[in-house]
Amino acid sequence: MKFCETIFALAFTAPAFSAILPLPNSFPGHAVDIDNRTLDQIYAVARNETGELIVLWGGDGGCPDKSLCSLGRFADSNLAEISQGDPTIAAWKARFPDVKLNLTVDVSKYHDSRVNRQYQRNGDDGADIAVLQTLHDFGRWKREGRLYPYKPAAWDNVYSAIRDPEGTFLGAFILPSTFGELINPVWKSKLALTYPNDDDAITYLFSIIIENYGWEWFDALLQQDIQWIRGTGQPADLISKTNTTRALSFTTNLNGAKNLASKTPSDARLLWPQTGAIFATTPRPESAKLFMSWLISDEYQQQFVHAGSYTVRKDLNSTSGSVWDDNLTSLTQFATFMENRDLVEWWRLQFETSIGTAQGLSPVLSEFGRRTTL
């Protein structure tokens, strides 16, 4: 798993699991011991299970052709895509070829909506595992008895604040100049930003910027001729093109887009632990355990160490240091924000009042997220 972060993306041409800790007795009688088996030992058992391991992976960007999309077990899914998950799929296929992985990338809020609808229909969550941004889901799913408690071998090495004490969910990975400078006239007609009323993470990001700079900053930003876009993948798509005047975004990720440089803001940013859990309805528990164990294993987490990114493992040393030493953000603050749905809706309505409802292409159609052949 990893941490997610805010960056400025600038065009050269012209841009875990959970911090929610529900009541300790919310899943009574299901305390589990740490699974000290090696990945190879779990794999030996998992390869005897049948069917695909279905993983819902929160993200956005890139499925231009419905025929390329993986729909999992959802009977009512119209569109989903897996492109942002291609590196994970390829690594899994190379490491565990006998356990077929069906990993679908879609916006977290759409994944959780489909899961909840499917569960209401027939008591089946429709997937084996969810790794999502919507941190408030995991506490509720735990209280409803819908999560499968599991503690991988590296459990004790994951920061305690981003794991559930009873093993129902944990943080798998973290995604990480000033925002005040964006209202400078030099950036007029240059910004491409995600609608803050269409994505909870962007809603939260705007809320902390406004708390720092006031509504005057937001009012001034609206005078900058912003191009508002749905999803966090598409601003990078736009500003990387050579035929656009849009050159800067702080609501996107690079995700394979070319001609882009990035810089971490120095005044405020958003970090959260992307959170994963096994659904209690999984028919493939050993395969699910293998996936969760692999996500926080040395071999998977080393990619974040090598990239100089934060890691959810306190025993692995990254050049970024410990996420808990980052003085620009509180790691658990986003989870607290997400739990307060009244507050989230208050902020969303504030932005919608000024910007209007989100318009445009679905977030899963971002050009640079498209699937590659595996």
pLDDT by residue (tens digit) across 88-133? 899 999 999 999 999 988 878 889 899 999 999 999 999 999 998 7
**302 CB contacts (<8 Å, ≥6 apart)?**
316
Q: Are 58 and 111 in contact (CB under 8 A)?
A: yes
CA distance 291 to 18: 17
Structure-model confidence comparison of residues 345 and 332, the more confident one? 345
**101 CB contacts (<8 Å, ≥6 apart)?**
52, 53, 55, 89, 92, 93, 291
CA distance 43 to 258: 37
Q: Look up residue 68 and give its two tokens.
A: 């390329």
What pLDDT is attached to residue 319? 67
* Mean pLDDT on 223-228: 92
Does residue 25 carry a pLDDT above 80?
A: no
Where does the pLDDT of residue 69 fall: very low under 50, low under 70, confident under 90, or very high at 90 and above? Answer: very low
What pLDDT is attached to residue 19? 27
Structure-model confidence comparison of residues 11 and 30, the more confident one? 30
CA distances from 52 to 48, 72, 94, 116, 257 (A): 12, 9, 16, 21, 30
CA distance 294 to 289: 8
Alpha helix (H) residue ranges in 248-312: 285-295, 298-306
CA distances from 188 to 58, 251, 262, 349 (A): 32, 17, 19, 25
> The whole model's pTM is what?
0.58
Structure-model confidence comparison of residues 243 and 360, the more confident one? 360
Where does the pLDDT of residue 351 fall: very low under 50, low under 70, confident under 90, or very high at 90 and above? Answer: very high
Does residue 306 carry a pLDDT above 50?
A: yes
Does residue 195 carry a pLDDT above 70?
A: yes
CA distances from 170 to 59, 74, 138, 181, 229 (A): 18, 25, 9, 36, 31
What pLDDT is attached to residue 263? 56
CA distance 215 to 225: 17
What pLDDT is attached to residue 183? 85
Does residue 176 carry a pLDDT above 90?
A: no
Greatest alpha-carbon span in the chain: 62
Share of the chain above pLDDT 90, in %: 34
**Alpha-carbon dihedral angle through residues 209, 253, 139, 86, given to the nearest 10 degrees:** 180
pLDDT by residue (tens digit) across 128-163? 999 987 777 888 899 899 999 999 998 988 878 778
**348 CB contacts (<8 Å, ≥6 apart)?**
196, 197, 203
Helix (H, G, I), strand (E, B), or coil: what is residue 242? Answer: coil
DSSP 194: E
Helix (H, G, I), strand (E, B), or coil: what is residue 187? Answer: helix
Structure-model confidence comparison of residues 57 and 21, the more confident one? 57
State the angle between helix axes of 285-295 and 86-95 in degrees (0 to 180), rounded to the nearest 10.
110
Containing 132, the helix (H) or strand (E) segment is: strand 129-132
Where does the pLDDT of residue 285 fall: very low under 50, low under 70, confident under 90, or very high at 90 and above? Answer: very high
φ, ψ at 136 (rounded to 5°)? -65, -20
Does residue 370 carry a pLDDT above 60?
A: no
Does residue 350 carry a pLDDT above 90?
A: yes
What domains are defined for the chain?
2-8+15-176+271-327 (3.40.190.10), 179-269+342-364 (no CATH)
Where does the pLDDT of residue 327 fall: very low under 50, low under 70, confident under 90, or very high at 90 and above? Answer: low
Q: Are 39 and 76 in contact (CB under 8 A)?
A: no
The lowest-confidence range among 12-26, 48-62, 297-311, 349-363 is 12-26
